[in-house]
Amino acid sequence: MRKLFLRFYLTVVVCFLASGLLVGVFYKQMLERINRQYLNDVFQSTIIIVENELGALPQSLWHDEITRLRNKLPVPVNIEAVDAYKLGPALLQSLMNGETLYLPARNIYIHRIPDTQLAIELGPVAYLARLDSVSWPDVIGLILMSAALGIPTWLWLRPFWRDLLALTRQSRALGRGDFSARTELEESSPLEPLSGTMNRMAQDIEELSSGRQAMIDAISHDVRTPLARLRYRLEAVKAGAPVDSFIAGAERDLVHMDQLVEEWLTLRTLERPEMQPEAQPFEALPWLVRQLDEFAVTGDAVEFINASGSDEPWLWADRYYLGRALGNLVNNARRYGGGRVRVTFAWHDGQAALHVDDDGPGIPENTRERLIKPFERLEGSRNRSTGGHGLGLAITSMIMQGHGGSLTIGDSELGGARMSLTWPSPLTAEE
């Protein structure tokens, strides 16, 4: 606090003194110019009066007359020989030509009396000396004004320093891994926007850290299970169990781990900021028919309904990632449903939609939002025993976010769950 105060205070004082000096120089020059013009007029008038008074007297009486005039004139007056002044050639020539000279070193005006080697000397003038000097009251006034600047500086800097210490403590807590640290500053604080940004950052880091920890726990659990089965089967083979059954079981476990790794890598790829789907126009119905035919190879046929209102609809989307998202939903419907799966293609007000319905037990409304997060699975009929790793819906949601759309979960007319993919898309290639 002391260093910050001194730096800020000295900066304010230096700026104040510099600005005061510049203003003082400006006004001093202006006042000097005005005052010197005024004094020149006064001195010229005084010189004329003195010359008129001396002109009628013999030169021997001039000193006596000057002594008499001193009490009547506004400035000190004297008569000196021209040689008494140490003047350069130029100044001496000006004096001899009848000009009135000002000698700053002695603070006097001199004017040669015509046809003589004598000069009328006016001054010194105390007022002119004060213009070029700095008095003790001036110095004391500057010191007091500089000291007075420390009070508002301290009053402003103290709450600023207090808020800065709070932010410093929060940043140190975040550095130690305490992502729950928050700082609440007053709205009037100049650091309040920074505090809000740091709080949001801490919240994001806390959510990201907890999510990553949950993912690591889930991956560890999903990998540990097939590894445990592999060890059990290996021990069984060592004890004399048939090798054929070991190979078949080992292949299933390896496929399980391979699927987990593949889905995890896909999720990580979609999380990258530079990863953007490449949307292109394509005919919707032929593409959907091909997708559903491929799904039928690995299971029962999937029902299809074209509810778009067009016989030849077009879509704008990334066909690879949209097919991946649709495949995840169809596989989920088969895994958790009762055997019947239906895909509906719809379009309304610039929004395309693919609905996947099943006839299973459905999904409770209070768990639907949670299911879209990675490694989240339901208990009961939609649990680990049915397979899956809890990444399919998370991947599907990210794909739709990349299309500017979303994945939503609702109730199906078939009695189970409805998974809906929606994203902005024209219905024809020309739009």
Separation in Å, CA 88 to CA 45, 104, 264, 348, 375: 26, 14, 97, 101, 100
Comparing CA positions, the residue from 209, 207, 201, 193 lying closest to residue 170 is 201
Q: Which residue intervals of the chain bear CATH 3.30.565.10?
A: 280-424
Is 280-424 a domain of CATH 2.60.40.10?
no
Contact 160, 191 (CB under 8 A): yes
**Distance from the first to the final alpha carbon of the chain:** 64
Cβ distance 415 to 306 under 8 Å? Answer: no
pLDDT in tens, the chain (431 residues): 556 555 666 676 677 667 666 666 665 666 566 656 656 666 677 777 777 777 667 777 777 777 777 776 767 878 788 888 888 888 888 888 878 787 877 778 888 877 788 888 877 766 555 555 556 676 677 677 767 666 776 666 677 777 778 888 888 888 888 878 888 877 777 777 888 888 888 888 887 777 667 666 666 666 777 787 778 778 887 887 777 777 877 887 787 777 667 766 666 666 665 556 777 889 989 999 998 888 877 677 888 999 888 888 888 888 888 888 888 888 888 888 888 899 999 988 888 999 999 988 888 887 777 777 655 555 544 444 444 556 678 778 888 888 889 888 888 888 888 989 999 988 775 54
How many Å apart are CA 374 and CA 363, to the nearest integer? 17
Please report the beta strands in 113-263, taking only residues with DSSP state E, as ranges in sequence order: 118-122
DSSP string computed for 61-92: GHHHHHHHHTTTSSS-EEEEEGGGS---HHHH
